[in-house]
């Protein structure tokens, strides 16, 4: 029997405009709401992650983060 989807955690999230637009687009394309889309992404994180590029993309994001917060 499939596990029932229970959205039990709610937390304030700060997202960039680009990130939020991409989340909304993914949710719409997948016929999900934003919370369901985030749940899907994080529940399947290890399977959908490209390990070859993840570290590089994370370092680039971290390097530009301080400037992006201004």
What is the distance of C-alpha 13 from the center of its chain? 11
In a domain, 59, yes or no: no
Angle at 37 between CA 41 and CA 51, to 5 degrees: 20
In a domain, 31, yes or no: yes
In a domain, 58, yes or no: no
In a domain, 51, yes or no: no
In a domain, 25, yes or no: yes
- Can you tell me the distance from the alpha carbon of 68 to that of 16, in angstroms, rounded to the nearest whole number? 9
Q: What is the pTM of this model?
A: 0.77
Query: Per residue in 23-49, pLDDT tens?
Result: 999 999 999 999 999 999 999 999 999
In a domain, 37, yes or no: yes
* Domain of 30, in residue numbers: 18-45
Query: Per residue in 53-65, pLDDT tens?
Result: 999 999 999 999 8
In a domain, 28, yes or no: yes
In a domain, 39, yes or no: yes
The domain tally of the chain equals 1
């Amino acid at each position: 029997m499939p596990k029932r989807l229970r959205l039990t955690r709610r937390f304030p999230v700060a997202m960039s405009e680009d990130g939020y637009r991409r989340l909304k687009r993914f949710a719409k394309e997948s016929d999900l709401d934003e919370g369901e889309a985030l749940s899907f992404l994080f529940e399947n994180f290890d399977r959908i992650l490209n390990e070859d590029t993840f570290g590089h993309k994370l370092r680039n994001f971290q390097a530009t983060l301080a400037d992006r917060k201004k």
